[in-house]
Chain A
Amino acid sequence: MSNPSLAPTRELKLYRRPISFWWWLDRPAYFKFVVRELTCLFVGAFAILTLLQVRAVGEGPEAYAAFAAMLASPAGIGFSVLAFLAAVYHTVTWFPAVQTTIVLRVGEQRVPGSVITGAHMAGWLVVSVVVAYIVLRG
């Protein structure tokens, strides 16, 4: 379709630096990126855990008690601590990312991303309180 630029007429001996397996340790930002991506393991695991929890509720009080005991075991607590940290990390990295997919205008001015992120954070707080309220109402 479009116009080509001529390839070199003699092959150049180009140097290509190999990428190390540890590339993600090269810059702090890369490391943070990898951590952010790995939070998804906990997200997936917790989704499945919730499925199991629902199933336990369906199976009756004993089944649910067993499930709750499992969560209270040291392993269960350990998992929850990690999962909680991962989930929060996911949340605080997610909203700034979402902001980039939204163009909002008020009059001629574009709403700054930080405002959109802030609104998400506020929404997060509200939603959390509502969920907690409903769960705890019983």
Chain B
Amino acid sequence: MASYSCDLLIVGGGGAGLRASIAAAEARPDLDVAVVSKVYPMRSHTVAAEGGAAAVIKSTDSLEAHAYDTVSGADWLCDQDVVEAFVDEAPREMVQLEHWGCPWSREPDGTVAVRPFGGMKVSRTWFAADKTGFHMLHSLFQTSLKYKSVKRYDEWFVSRLLVDDGRCAGVVAVEIATGEVHSILAKAVILCTGGCGKIFPFTTNANIKNGDGMALAYRAGAPLKDMEFVQYHPTGLPATGILITEATRAEGGWLVNKDGYRYLQDYALGTPEPKPVHRTMELGPRDRLSQAFIKEQERGRTLEGPYGHYVNLDIRHIGETVIDKKLPFVRELCLKYANLDPVHEVIPVRPVVHYIMGGVHTDIHGATPIAGLYAAGEAACVSLNGANRLGSNSLTECLVFGARAGRAAAEYVDGAPAPGAAVEAQASDEERRLRSLMDKTDGTERIADLRSEMQSTMEESAGIYRSGDSLAAGAETLGRLRQHARHLKLEDRSRTFNTEFISALELDYMLELAEIILRSGEQRTESRGAHQRTDFPARDDDNFLAHSLAYRNDDGSVRIEYSPVTITKWPPGARVYGKQ
């Protein structure tokens, strides 16, 4: 087992990880920074983001307004100091990215263009047509290439955090191409491993979004915060879950039921207007729109196809010119994956798992309770998104908090002591564990079967609406699945690029996270944002204006604690959409 070392190790090469690496390299050019990623950085799922990234730039807008939209969108579960820091630093980060070459769409005078987005009172979402994440990721990746103090470990899979005496001292990782196990020692580690949508069957998330970093942190002793909040995006293609971006609605798209009726008007989202109106109807927040779909389905007003119930997204009236200019990718996706042309036809859509508000608990600098361990991006929960993230806040979050974590970790590195002997023992422990899994020949359970059973369990028990019973039942099934998962059957005996082995590790993480999502949901006996309990339909600020923190007990079970929400300017109020 070879051992590598660096000063600062970043796990993940998506938007957050790359931004962190550049921030660290700029703050401290003398440090050895390393980025480990299980896929080449430009394959990270940030690449798939379509709609845009929010930041106040126009004179009609204000930081205050962005903050209020975020807080109310979050159903008050966010920390308001975090929100304020976020909206304040967002414009600078976005301009920085502009200076790094991101091809933002422009106004005729050459300033960046902005578009409306769900739950936002003012247009403030920067966009690069409808491939915003793609352009942001490639700009960041290409820019990161110029920092020679940043070293990359491409296609290395981190399987464990090394923690000694309450301090994080590095990771153990599998070099996927060779199957070798290595330790990479570091004085500080930043987890930027992204979300975990693959726990669910029907998701916009890529194959690589398995919540690895969350599971790593959790096992190392860090709490996971607000994991019961899973965002369903209201518009995914029924067969594949491919996302049809919110930008379709921002540009004027309508959601209609089987009668061609804009049904959102029945769900306290305002009255329909021909042109899009901020915070109204189709531009309401995602949680409300997805919930409205379920209600509409219960009333029997949705359509039914081979992949379940759906409604239609109609963008025909936007016209070919605007679609080709501002939504070309949507058209491409519809043509390729739904066999229809949105210029002439309506698009069938249904809610689809998209994003997790929860993640590794961090403070406003991205620091977790474990010294030397930081987190940023979707893997982290810095408490910006609360109970419901607003579309286009998370790309910006990757930048703002990626940069913050990068700088904070670079600063921390100086005082960090050298790793102790315990670290080496842990590393060889982990190597033994991995080797024995790799060499296992007596398994019986197929990875794919367990995975799909986990996924359907999650959809049934922790969907858009859940109840105490469904969550408990799900947890029970999961317990059984985790037993089965001890006897995985691995068919691939090669050490070289063994993706089956990697899938086995990912499944193990996902099963653990699935249980945490269910347990966190079970204990929150209220409805807030994306967490809707049929048995507790009201918001309960007296008891649950609080973050849930999931800890791992020594016996492997989950313990949920709560911590207060930080309120600065905006006391909890009603979320009003439609009329202002």
Contacts and interface: CB of A to CB of B under 8 A. Distances in A.
Interface of A: 1-6, 8-10, 12-13
B148 A3 contact: yes
A9 B183 CA distance: 13
A10 B152 CA distance: 17
A9 B154 contact: no
A66 B84 CA distance: 93
Given A9-B2, A12-B496, A4 B178 contact: no
A8 B177 contact: yes
B430 interface: no
Given A1-B146, A1-B148, A6 B180 contact: no
Contacts of B147: 2-3
Interface of B: 2, 144-154, 175, 177-178, 180, 182, 496
Contacts of B178: 8-10, 12
21 contacts: A1-B146, A1-B148, A2-B145, A2-B146, A2-B148, A3-B144, A3-B145, A3-B146, A3-B147, A3-B148, A4-B148, A4-B152, A5-B151, A5-B152, A5-B154, A6-B154, A8-B175, A8-B177, A9-B2, A9-B180, A13-B496
Contacts, number: 40
Contacts of A10: 178, 180
Contacts of A9: 2, 175, 178, 180, 182
A1 B148 CA distance: 6
Contacts of B182: 9
Contacts of A8: 175, 177-178
B34 to A, nearest CB: 9
Contacts of B180: 9-10
Given A5-B152, A6-B151, 15 more contacts: A2-B146, A2-B148, A3-B144, A3-B146, A3-B148, A3-B149, A3-B150, A4-B148, A4-B152, A5-B153, A6-B152, A8-B177, A9-B175, A9-B178, A9-B182
A2 B496 CA distance: 28
A93 B154 CA distance: 42
Nearest to A3: B150
Nearest to B40: A5
Contacts of A3: 144-152
Nearest to A1: B148
Given A9-B180, A9-B182, A10-B180, A4 B175 contact: no
- Of residues A4, A6, A12, which shows the largest number of chain B Cβ atoms within 10 Å of its Cβ? A6
A40 B538 CA distance: 80
A8 B496 CA distance: 11
A8 B152 CA distance: 12
A3 B150 CA distance: 6
A39 to B, nearest CB: 38
Contacts of B175: 8-9
A8 B155 CA distance: 10
A6 B175 CA distance: 10
A13 B175 CA distance: 15
Contact of B151 (A4, A12, A13): A4
Nearest to B2: A9
B153 A6 contact: yes
B261 to A, nearest CB: 39
Nearest to A4: B151
A13 B178 CA distance: 10
Contacts of A12: 177-178, 496
A6 B40 CA distance: 12
Contacts of A2: 145-148
Nearest to B34: A6
The 8 closest A-B pairs by CB, nearest first: A5-B152, A2-B145, A10-B178, A3-B150, A5-B154, A6-B153, A8-B177, A3-B148
Contacts of A6: 151-154
Contacts of A4: 148, 151-152
A3 to B, nearest CB: 5
B320 to A, nearest CB: 16
A5 B178 CA distance: 15
A82 to B, nearest CB: 45
A23 B148 CA distance: 39
Contacts of B151: 3-6
Nearest to B149: A3
A107 B95 CA distance: 29
Contacts of B145: 2-3
B451 to A, nearest CB: 29
A9 B496 CA distance: 12
A112 to B, nearest CB: 15
A83 to B, nearest CB: 46
Nearest to B152: A5
A14 to B, nearest CB: 10
A13 B179 CA distance: 13
A64 B565 CA distance: 100
A3 B143 CA distance: 10
Contacts of A1: 146, 148
A10 B145 CA distance: 24
Contacts of B152: 3-6
A18 B496 CA distance: 22
A3 B10 CA distance: 15
- Of residues A3, A8, A13, which shows the largest number of chain B Cβ atoms within 10 Å of its Cβ? A3
Nearest to B153: A6
B434 to A, nearest CB: 15
Contacts of B496: 12-13
- Of residues A5, A8, A12, which shows the largest number of chain B Cβ atoms within 10 Å of its Cβ? A5
B249 to A, nearest CB: 28
A4 B144 CA distance: 11
Contacts of A5: 151-154
A4 B180 CA distance: 20
Contacts of B146: 1-3
Nearest to B154: A5
A78 to B, nearest CB: 51
A100 B164 CA distance: 60
B511 to A, nearest CB: 30
Contacts of B2: 9
Contacts of B150: 3
A4 B32 CA distance: 12
Contacts of B144: 3
A110 to B, nearest CB: 14
A8 B179 CA distance: 10
A16 to B, nearest CB: 15
Nearest to B497: A12
A6 B145 CA distance: 13
